[in-house]
C-alpha cells in the first residue's frame, strides 16, 4: 500500500468542505432554474389564453377534429418532401464537390472552369430560393421544349439542387482551404499526384472538418423542400393548404409544422452529437 494508491487515499476535511459547498450551490441553482421556468411559462400561457381572440384562435388553429382529418394527408405529403430531399441531397453532394474542386484548382489551363464555378456560386447564393423555384417551374415549361419534363416536382427539386449546391460548394471549399499546406507538402513528398493528394489526404480531412456545417445545410434543405408547394406539388404544406381551403380551419398548417419539426429534431441532435464527438477526438491528443 502506497501513499498514492487511490483506493486507500483519504479525502481531507478541507476538500470535503469544498465539495459540500459546491453541492449546496448546485442545489440552489437548480431550484432557481425550476422556479423561473414555471414563472415564465405560466406568464406566457396566461397572456395567450387571456387574449380577446383566444376562443376563436383555438377553434381555427387547435381543432382536434381537423388535426385528425388532415394528419394522413399531410403525412403523405411529407413523404414527397422526404423523397425530394434525399434525391436532391445526393445530387448536391456530387455537384458541390465538383464546384469546390474546380474553385480550388490553380492551373492556368483551368481558368475558364474556375471562372464559371465562381460565377455559379456567386449567382445562386445571391438568388432567393423561392425566385429560382418560380423561374424554373413556371419559366422552363413556358418554353414548350420538346422533351422537357412536365413534373413540377422535377423543377422544384432542380431549383433546390442548384441553390444548395452553391452553398455546399462554399462550405466544402472552406474545408479544403482550412487544411494546412504542410499536409499537401507531405503527400506530394511521398510521390502522390495533385489528384491523389486531394483524394486521399485533403478531401477526407476537409469533409470531416465541415461535417457539422454540411448537416446543418441538410436540415435546412429538408425544410426548404416545402417551398416546392408553390408550384402546386402536393407536399406536406400543399396538403395542409388543400384541407384548409375546404374547411377554413388552419389546424392542418400546425400539423404540417409539427411534422417538419419532428423530422428535423433527430437530424439536429445527430449534428450536435457529431460535432461533440469530433471535438472530443481533437482534445484527446497525445503528448504533443
Partner 1 sequence: MSTSTVLSLHRVRKSFGSEVVLCDIDLQVPEHTVTVLIGTSGSGKSTLLRCINLLERLDDGQVILDGEDITAIGVNPDHVRRRIGTVFQHFNLFPHLTVLDNITLAPRRVHRVPRRQAEDRAEALLTRFGLAGKAREYPDRLSGGQQQRVAILRAVATGPRLLLLDEVTSALDPVLVAEVLDLVSELRNEGMTMVVATHEMGFARRVADQVGFLRGGLLAELGPPEQVLTDPSTDHLRQFLGSLRAAGRL
Q: Are 133 and 228 in contact (CB under 8 A)?
A: yes
Span of 3-11, 38-46, 111-119, 195-203 interacting with partner 1 by CB under 8 A? 195-203
196 binds partner 1 (CB under 8 A): yes
DSSP collapsed to 3 states, the chain = CCCCCCCCCCCCHHHHHHHHHHHHHHHHHHHHHHHHHHHHHHHHHHHHHCCCCHHHHHHHHCCHHHHHHHHHHHHHHHHHHHHHHHHHHHHHHHHHHHHHHHHHCCCHHHHHHHHHHHHHHHHHHHCCHHHHHHHHHHHHHHCCCCCCCCCHHHHHHHHHHHHHHHHHHHHHHHHHHHCCHHHHHHHHHCCCCHHHHHHHHHHHHHHHHHHHHHHHHHHHHHHHHHHHHHHCCCCHHHHHHHHHHHHCCCHHHHHHHHHHHHHHHHHHHHHHHHHHHHHHHHHCCCCC
In the set 9, 54, 200, 273, which binds partner 1 (CB under 8 A)?
200
Euclidean distance between CA atoms 203 and 222, whole angstroms: 25
CB within 8 Å of 179: residues ≥ 6 apart:
201, 202, 205, 206, 209
**Exposed (0-12), middle (13-18) or buried (19+): which is 141, by Cβ within 10 Å?**
middle
287 binds partner 1 (CB under 8 A): yes
- How many residues sit in the footprint of partner 1 (CB under 8 A)? 23
Which residues in 152-191 contact partner 1 (CB under 8 A)?
A: 182-183, 185-191
- For partner 1, the closer CB: 20 or 190: 190
To partner 1, the closest distance from the beta carbon of 104 in angstroms equals: 18
CB nearer to partner 1: pick between 192 and 215: 192
The interface with partner 1 within residues 203-222 (CB under 8 A) comprises 204-205, 208
Please say which residue, 49 or 183, places its beta carbon nearer to partner 1: 183
201 binds partner 1 (CB under 8 A): yes
Decide whether 49 or 193 has the Cβ nearer to partner 1.
Answer: 193
Please state the closest distance from residue 175 (CB atom) to partner 1, in A.
12
Binding of partner 1 at residue 286 (CB under 8 A)?
yes
Q: Measured from the CB of residue 278, what is the shortest distance to partner 1 in angstroms?
A: 11
State which residue, 212 or 257, has the beta carbon closest to partner 1: 212
44/186 with CB nearer partner 1: 186
Binding segment (CB under 8 A) for partner 1, from list 59-67, 110-118, 133-141, 201-209: 201-209
285 belongs to the binding site for partner 1 (CB under 8 A): yes
With respect to partner 1, which residue has the nearer C-beta, 109 or 287? 287
Comparing CB distances to partner 1, the nearer of 141 and 212 is: 212
Residue numbers at the binding site for partner 1 (CB under 8 A): 182-183, 185-193, 196, 200-201, 204-205, 208, 282, 284-288
Amino acid at each position: 500500500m502506497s501513499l498514492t494508491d487511490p483506493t486507500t487515499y483519504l479525502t481531507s476535511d478541507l476538500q470535503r468542505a469544498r465539495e459540500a459547498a459546491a453541492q449546496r450551490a448546485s442545489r440552489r441553482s437548480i431550484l432557481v432554474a425550476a422556479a423561473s421556468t414555471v414563472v415564465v411559462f405560466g406568464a406566457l400561457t396566461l397572456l395567450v389564453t387571456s387574449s380577446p381572440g383566444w376562443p376563436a384562435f383555438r377553434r381555427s388553429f387547435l381543432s382536434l377534429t381537423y388535426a385528425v382529418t388532415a394528419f394522413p394527408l399531410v403525412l403523405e405529403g411529407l413523404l414527397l418532401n422526404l423523397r425530394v430531399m434525399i434525391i436532391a441531397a445526393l445530387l448536391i453532394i456530387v455537384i458541390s464537390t465538383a464546384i469546390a474542386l474546380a474553385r480550388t484548382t490553380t492551373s492556368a489551363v483551368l481558368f475558364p472552369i474556375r471562372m464559371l464555378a465562381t460565377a455559379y456560386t456567386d449567382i445562386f447564393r445571391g438568388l432567393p430560393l423561392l425566385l429560382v423555384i418560380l423561374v424554373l417551374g413556371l419559366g422552363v415549361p413556358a418554353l414548350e421544349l420538346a422533351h422537357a419534363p412536365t413534373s413540377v416536382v422535377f423543377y422544384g427539386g432542380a431549383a433546390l439542387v442548384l441553390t444548395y449546391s452553391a452553398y455546399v460548394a462554399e462550405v466544402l471549399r472552406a474545408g479544403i482551404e482550412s487544411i494546412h499546406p504542410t499536409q499537401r507538402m507531405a503527400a506530394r513528398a511521398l510521390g502522390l499526384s495533385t489528384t491523389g493528394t486531394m483524394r486521399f489526404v485533403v478531401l477526407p480531412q476537409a469533409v470531416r472538418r465541415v461535417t457539422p456545417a454540411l448537416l446543418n445545410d441538410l436540415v435546412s434543405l429538408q425544410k426548404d423542400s416545402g417551398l416546392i408547394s408553390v408550384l402546386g406539388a402536393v407536399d406536406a404544406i400543399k396538403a395542409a393548404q388543400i384541407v384548409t381551403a375546404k374547411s377554413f380551419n388552419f389546424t392542418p398548417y400546425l400539423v404540417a409544422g409539427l411534422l417538419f419539426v419532428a423530422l428535423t429534431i433527430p437530424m439536429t441532435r445527430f449534428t450536435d452529437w457529431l460535432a461533440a464527438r469530433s471535438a472530443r477526438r481533437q482534445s484527446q491528443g497525445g503528448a504533443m
